[in-house]
């Protein structure tokens, strides 16, 4: 029988792609999601990719009674914890929502796991925990100095889980610090569909390409980078998804705490993303260079060597494939799962 993996937030962008990778690797994902930032119709799409829809439960990760019931109803081999809020700007205006959902939610989950003697946990952290640094590439030993409540909430959960693992060596905990997840499953059936105006570059560029928005505002053209625009480490969401499977396999072999960057180790500028998307879509992307966005760093990219050494995982897909897959999803689903 396939081992069941509880996937909190499994209806969301990274979670839904991870369900595909889990099923391909012989695991049975069981999704817990409150759909605050996702759409239940993702399961019809997943059924078309995987062959059958993953089981899902609508509910909140902060609901301890629900978690206790889920752990009692079936053997659960491990948990991948994606559920949380992820907008930096919103976290500044509503910090309590972020501490409640991200920190409190993770603590309730860890306590329910402890009570059920389930000790394998993979946690979605973020490169945001590093804040601004001049040292590139960024290694896991870099000082943590997040600059906003979202980043603080991730750092707090990392700290709590590290302390938990230290208190009981049965725990197998992996903290994955994602760089910039983009792209979509190659089928074009699942992908990212932010509500309202996208904050992130790739969804904005794809909405310009498909004609939903007039032009991209490039946030700053005077950074100390080769073309003056910001440089980031974009990583294909299917590479990330496969990284979670590799992390599960590693946890099966070895107890302990692992803290790992998931990135490609390559930086790509805003204008390079625009050009790559033009190649992928055959459309021209209108843009205008404007002022810098408050809080942005000029450049950041990962040192992914530790993830490779520990998990045997390496990102396989480059920026052209990220754009081609984003475009396939965007073109076929201009209004996300409503399309
Ligand atoms: P997403 O919003 O698409 O997915 C999160 C899912 O969790 C959604 O389906 C949402 O409905 C659900 N959810 C939120 N709060 C919940 C709760 N209390 N109970 C149950 N379900 C809840 O986001 P994503 O991009 O897939 O990100 C997944 C995780 O990865 C998040 O923890 C995020 O902070 C982290 N992360 C994302 C990025 C990124 O750029 N996408 C980068 C670094 C880290
Ligand atoms: N960016 C931009 N215009 C946008 C959105 C983003 O120029 O509409 C730039 C941003 O300044 C950064 C890069 O694109 O240099 C990636 O931004 P994103 O918000 O996607 O990721 P993050 O800043 O969190 O790394």
3-state secondary structure 274-337: HHHHHHHHCCCCCEEEECCCCCCCCECCECCHHHHHHHCCCCCCCHHHHHHHHHHHHHHCCCHH
Instruction: Determine how many CB atoms are found less than 10 A away from the CB of residue 339.
Output: 12
Cβ-contact 130, 139 below 8 angstroms: no
Determine, yes or no, domain membership for 222: no
The Cα–Cα gap between 71 and 97 comes to 26
Q: Which atom of ligand 2 is nearest to the CA of 216?
A: 8
**What spacing in Å lies between the alpha carbon of 43 and ligand 1's midpoint?**
16
Residue 322, strand partner residues: none
Catalytic residues: 150
Position 27 in a domain: yes
Contact between residue 10 and residue 54 where contact means Cβ atoms under 8 Å apart? yes
Closest CA to 190 of 323, 6, 13, 58: 13
Cross-strand bridge partners of residue 126: 178
Determine which residue's CA is closest to atom 1 belonging to ligand 1: 12
pLDDT for 195 equals 86
CA–CA gap between residue 315 and residue 201 (Å, rounded):
20
∠ CA 71-78-31, nearest 5°, is 70
338 secondary structure, DSSP code: G
**Can you give the C-alpha Rg of the chain in angstroms?**
19
Residue 106 lies in a domain: yes
CATH of the domain at 144: 3.40.50.720
Dihedral sign for Cα atoms in the order 61, 83, 125, 21:
positive
* Burial call 138-151: b when 16+ CB within 10 Å, e when fewer: bebebebebebbbb
Spacing, Cα 225 to ligand 1 middle (Å): 30
CA of 84 to the centre of ligand 1 (A): 5
From the CB of 225, is ligand 2 less than 6 Å away?
A: no
The rounded distance, in Å, linking the Cα atoms of 327 and 325 is 5
Q: Alpha-carbon torsion 239, 240, 246, 250, what sign?
A: positive
The answer to whether residue 312 sits within a structural domain is no
Residue nearest to atom 33 of ligand 1 (CA): 86
Q: Give residues (CB < 6 A) around ligand 1.
A: 8-9, 11-15, 32-38, 60-62, 82-84, 86, 101, 105, 124, 126, 178, 181
Q: Distances from the Cα of 255 to the Cαs of 174, 247, 250, in angstroms?
A: 10, 12, 9
Instruction: Give the angle 171-173-176 at the CA atoms, nearest 5°.
Output: 180
Residue 239 lies in a domain: yes
What confidence score (pLDDT) does residue 201 get? 97
| pLDDT tens digits in sequence order for the chain, 339 residues long | 899 999 999 999 999 999 999 999 999 999 999 999 999 999 999 999 999 999 999 999 999 999 999 999 999 999 999 999 999 999 999 999 999 999 999 999 999 999 999 999 999 999 999 998 889 999 999 999 999 999 999 999 999 999 999 999 999 999 999 999 999 999 999 999 898 899 999 999 999 999 999 999 999 999 999 999 999 999 999 999 999 999 999 999 999 999 999 999 999 999 999 999 999 999 999 999 999 998 888 999 999 999 999 999 999 999 999 999 999 999 999 999 987
Domain-located, residue 137: yes
In a domain, 279, yes or no: no
Check pocket membership of 199 for ligand 2, CB cut-off 6 A: yes
Supply the range of the domain harboring residue 171. 4-182+234-263
pLDDT, position 134: 84
Are the C-beta atoms of 265 and 301 separated by less than 8 Å?
yes
Q: Tell me if 193 is assigned to some domain.
A: no
Domain count across the chain: 1
């Amino acid at each position: 029988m396939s081992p069941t993996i509880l996937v909190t937030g499994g209806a969301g962008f990274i979670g839904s792609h991870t369900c595909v990778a889990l099923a391909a690797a012989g695991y049975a994902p069981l999704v817990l999601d409150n759909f605050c930032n996702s759409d239940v119709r993702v399961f019809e799409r997943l059924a078309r990719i995987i062959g059958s829809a993953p089981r899902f439960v609508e509910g909140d990760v902060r609901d301890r009674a629900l978690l206790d019931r889920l752990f009692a109803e079936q053997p659960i081999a491990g948990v991948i914890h994606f559920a949380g809020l992820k907008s930096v700007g919103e976290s500044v205006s509503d910090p309590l929502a972020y501490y409640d959902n991200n920190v409190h939610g993770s603590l309730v989950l860890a306590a329910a796991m402890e009570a059920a003697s389930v000790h394998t946990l993979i946690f979605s952290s973020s490169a945001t925990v590093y804040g601004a640094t001049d040292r590139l590439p960024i290694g896991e030993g870099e000082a943590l100095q997040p600059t906003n409540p979202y980043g603080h909430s991730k750092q707090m959960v990392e700290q709590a889980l590290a302390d938990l693992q230290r208190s009981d060596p049965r725990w197998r905990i992996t903290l994955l610090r994602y760089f910039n997840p983009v792209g979509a499953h190659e089928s074009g059936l699942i992908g990212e569909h932010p509500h309202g105006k996208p904050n992130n570059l790739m969804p904005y560029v794809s909405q310009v390409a498909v004609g939903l928005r007039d032009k991209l505002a490039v946030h700053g053209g005077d950074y100390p980078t080769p073309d003056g625009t910001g440089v980031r480490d974009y990583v294909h969401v299917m590479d990330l998804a496969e990284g979670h499977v590799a992390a599960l396999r590693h946890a099966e072999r070895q107890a302990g705490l692992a803290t790992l960057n998931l990135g490609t180790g390559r930086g790509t500028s805003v204008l390079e993303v625009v050009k790559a998307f033009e190649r992928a879509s055959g459309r021209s992307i209108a843009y205008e260079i404007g002022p810098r966005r408050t809080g942005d760093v000029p450049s950041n990219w990962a040192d992914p060597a530790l993830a490779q050494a520990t998990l045997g995982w390496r990102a396989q897909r480059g920026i052209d494939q990220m754009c081609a897959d984003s475009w396939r999803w965007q073109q076929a689903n201009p209004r996300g799962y409503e399309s």
